[in-house]
Structure 1
Amino acid sequence: MSNSAGDRATIPQTVWAARGRHTGPDPEDVVRRILHRRKESGDIDDFAEPPVGEDPARRVFEARWRAAGTVTVRARLTLVPDPERPPEHEWRLVAEAESPWDDTWPSPATLFWPAGGADGTDGSWDHHATVPGLRFRQANALPADDKEMRRRLRDAAREPWCVDVVVHEAMTPDERGRLSLTRLLPPGLRHRVVEHRAAPQQLRAVNWALKDLGVEVPRGGAVVLPPDPAPKGHDGREHSVRNVFLDGSEPVELVAALRSFVAAPRPLPQGAEEALADLRENWTLRTLAEELERERRLVAMYAEALEAMTTSRDLYKQAAEQALEALAAYRDVPAPTLPHQQRPTARTPVALHQLTRTFERLRLTAKGRQRPGTTEPTSPDDTPGVSPAGDTTPGAAGLADERPA
């Protein structure tokens, strides 16, 4: 999968996703205990712990419930130990509903983890996955150092599993105003929003730190941080709030800005696409109707594959028959005669005759060069110009007349 935000699929409106870190020991025991409790109270219909094959240290939990009494929700929580910081575990929670997600539905996080108190001090599961010191259920004060503040906001914006909001205090709040605003958000937003709180004297520093992200927080207001990199066409002014009252009342404008941000198309975070595919493809907590429907889909898929194989087989058979026919036709055609393979029958007598004449000429020339008076032949056949019967041939006589006296 590409690392570019423009190449990744967007988050479906039916999906709720969050990622965090559990800093305490034995998180799987905590999840089992909470799921048993939720099933007994009727908050969930059922849960399961499917086996994991390749990674025995990883733990997977599934749960299903009916939101608003009618909409089926399936959720899958994965626990992975952190080898660098034992006994901490990273957790990823992906839930998918049969209809677009309604933020008034219960938070999937509270169906797997302890809900905790209003101040969020109990429990150890609500820590930010990548930025140390950040928590979901607290107002996280920004660092006093400007560079550290800038680094924290930049690192937080690079974690698209969460929704980050920066709130500026117009004046020092009382004890009630120091509580996190996330406790006043709808349940569907509560456990995936991280609140960063800027003190009254930090307005200039926080806007300097937000300059790289292209947004600015108003005095006494709030702004939702865009993901880094920001999606195409993102306008930070649409998710900015002029006034946020820290008096314990519901932050209506902030809720509207957060809802608008969540509803806008956003790319799936790194790892969320795999987690969603794992939820859809490896789900084990099925009802009888779902199991029957799954088997029907498998039968249809196998039938389609068998039909494709049959068609491929027929095409292969047809091609093989055509190849055999072409081979048979090729064998019936006589092989062409190459020029160098032709026999020189017509030229053989002429060549033999010329060879015979050449040998005869050489023989006569050799005998004609013998010295005068030399009488080597002992038989009548070897005497030049004399026939076996003793007759002298005309040629021989002529030769004798030409010899010197």
Structure 2
Amino acid sequence: MSNSATDHATIPQNLWAARGPHPGPAAEDVVRRTLGRHRESGDIDDFAEPPVPDDSPERIFEARWRAGGTVTVRARLTLVPRAARPEGQEWTLVAEAERPWDEAWPSPATLFWPEAGPAEGADGDWDHHPTVPGLRFGQVNPLPDDDKETRRRLKDAARDSWCAHVVVHEAMTPDEQGRLPLARLLPPGLRHRVMEHRAAPQQFRAVNWALKDLGVEVPRGGAVLLPPDPAPQDYDGREHSVRTVFLDGSEPAGLVAALRDFMALPRPLPPGAQEALTDLRENWTLTTLQEELERQRDLVAMYADALEAMTKSRDLYREAAEQAHQALAALRDAPAALPQQQRPGARTPAALQQLTRTFERLRFTAKGPRPAPAPDGPSEAPVVLEIPGVPEVPGAGAAERR
């Protein structure tokens, strides 16, 4: 496991995210019917199905509602075919509120899906764990009898950061009331973000052996939350364990408090959540009239800024082009503008001055004075500089013969 979450984007506190498989063949029809019922009942303000390309296998649903009557929540559910089972579909749900998420708000999953359970038949068969077979939200998930299988399952569960995993140990064999899942006693906003693993009384040593690699242990008759991967720097497994969990139907106040603290940690965004959140923010279509007006105003302001930048760039380009044309014209006319033809006091362009200085150096080198003889001996042979295009100075050879 990783040791730090500082290099990963963390889950915003106003985000509710979940995912899982739906094994049935008509998941989109189930979502469509469920959203329609909630719109009629007033649980949601409206929903929409944004268009997708004809060759795209995914289906998208958007819904908006007001949590607590005042806080706007925008949610987006995406369905894609399952690779392993073509008749089923994988669903990803992200919901973003205008302020930090309140655990008392309803679970967004129950607004897109019907209540899970045998009573709903195939329509309610959506609450499976996305990666670990056999695990379901809202139910008791007994740990395997085999110790190695228990270890493997808990390690696989710990890698999943879409939800919180809690391991509960039964101090004694519970009665019928104690065998019910604790999820039904959790606040609505936590029920579909918590996976409950249950260890029987005789599995106390085995489960702690399986948890040893994760750096946590479950108290006898208590519960522990599996650490996220990667774990935040300030994560302490002891602070996310509960010494006693009463399986008598009473509210597990200690477990709720531990879950509340766990959800507030800077946990990393799970794989795929960032893309889903970006789609929600950038491709949202279910807007109100006021939101559409503000969006159009933002677009007008953006286009105005872009037009102003383009105008400035055009002016700068035109000015640079004019200067380049002037420089090219000066270079084109430079060979005809010899220094002898210039009037006294006239200024010479920079390019022409450079050409003039070049011709001056060539002229004085070709017609320079004869070198003086050395005082102590015969004169040395002069160095004859041959310049292509410049004729030999008359009389130079006769002077050397003297």
Tell which structure's C-alpha radius of gyration is larger. Answer: 1
> In the TM superposition, what are the counterparts of 1:76-225 in structure 2 within 5 Å?
76-116=76-116, 123-225=124-226
The CA deviation at 1:68 is 0.8
Aligned to 2:31: 31
**2:230–2:268: 8 Å Cα contact kept in structure 1?**
no
The CA deviation at 1:80 is 1.0
The CA deviation at 1:301 is 1.2
1:282-331, CA deviations, whole angstroms, 9 ceiling, x for partnerless residues? 00001100100110111111112222222333333343344445443454
The DSSP-based 3-state class of the residue aligned with 2:62 is strand
Please state if 1:46 is matched with 2:46: yes
The CA deviation at 1:232 is 2.0
**1:142–1:196: 8 Å Cα contact kept in structure 2?**
yes
* Aligned with residue 332 of structure 1, among 344, 347, 352: 352
The DSSP-based 3-state class of the residue aligned with 1:191 is helix
**1:168–1:220: 8 Å Cα contact kept in structure 2?**
yes
- Rounded to whole Å, the distance in 1 between the matches of 2:6 and 2:148 is 29
- Rounded to whole Å, the distance in 2 between the matches of 1:206 and 1:317 is 76
- Rounded to whole Å, the distance in 2 between the matches of 1:304 and 1:157 is 48
Cα separation, partners in 2 of 1:292 and 1:85, compared to 1, 3 Å: same
Letter of the 2:390 partner, please give it. Answer: R
Letter of the 2:308 partner, please give it. Answer: E
1:6-32, CA deviations, whole angstroms, 9 ceiling, x for partnerless residues? 332111111111111111221111001
- Rounded to whole Å, the distance in 2 between the matches of 1:49 and 1:272 is 20
The DSSP-based 3-state class of the residue aligned with 1:6 is coil
- Rounded to whole Å, the distance in 1 between the matches of 2:46 and 2:107 is 17
**1:119–1:179: 8 Å Cα contact kept in structure 2?**
no
- Rounded to whole Å, the distance in 2 between the matches of 1:118 and 1:254 is 27
- Rounded to whole Å, the distance in 2 between the matches of 1:349 and 1:310 is 65
1:229-258, CA deviations, whole angstroms, 9 ceiling, x for partnerless residues? 212221111111000000111100100100
Letter of the 1:302 partner, please give it. Answer: Y
- Rounded to whole Å, the distance in 2 between the matches of 1:99 and 1:135 is 29
**2:34–2:111: 8 Å Cα contact kept in structure 1?**
yes
**1:119–1:137: 8 Å Cα contact kept in structure 2?**
no
- Point out where structure 1 has 5 or more consecutive residues left out of the alignment: 355-405
The CA deviation at 1:115 is 1.7
Cα separation, partners in 2 of 1:330 and 1:182, compared to 1, 3 Å: same
- Rounded to whole Å, the distance in 1 between the matches of 2:396 and 2:293 is 94
1:111-132, CA deviations, whole angstroms, 9 ceiling, x for partnerless residues? 0001245999872100000110
- Rounded to whole Å, the distance in 1 between the matches of 2:115 and 2:217 is 33
- Rounded to whole Å, the distance in 1 between the matches of 2:121 and 2:54 is 36
Aligned to 1:347: 394
Between 198-207 and 4-13, the greater mean CA deviation after superposition: 4-13
Letter of the 1:199 partner, please give it. Answer: A
**2:35–2:47: 8 Å Cα contact kept in structure 1?**
yes
Between 307-316 and 280-289, the greater mean CA deviation after superposition: 307-316
> In the TM superposition, what are the counterparts of 1:338-377 in structure 2 within 5 Å?
338=362, 340-341=387-388, 343-347=390-394, 350=397
Cα separation, partners in 2 of 1:346 and 1:258, compared to 1, 3 Å: same
- Rounded to whole Å, the distance in 2 between the matches of 1:78 and 1:175 is 38
Aligned to 2:69: 69
Letter of the 2:84 partner, please give it. Answer: E
- Rounded to whole Å, the distance in 2 between the matches of 1:325 and 1:226 is 71
**1:19–1:162: 8 Å Cα contact kept in structure 2?**
no
The CA deviation at 1:349 is 8.1
**2:116–2:127: 8 Å Cα contact kept in structure 1?**
no
1:43-74, CA deviations, whole angstroms, 9 ceiling, x for partnerless residues? 00100111112753211100000111111100
Letter of the 2:130 partner, please give it. Answer: A
Q: Over aligned residue pairs, what C-alpha RMSD do you find?
A: 2.3
The DSSP-based 3-state class of the residue aligned with 1:107 is coil
**2:117–2:125: 8 Å Cα contact kept in structure 1?**
no
- Point out where structure 2 has 5 or more consecutive residues left out of the alignment: 331-348, 366-386
Letter of the 2:394 partner, please give it. Answer: R
Aligned to 1:231: 232
> TM-score, normalization: structure 2?
0.82
**1:119–1:138: 8 Å Cα contact kept in structure 2?**
no
**2:11–2:266: 8 Å Cα contact kept in structure 1?**
yes
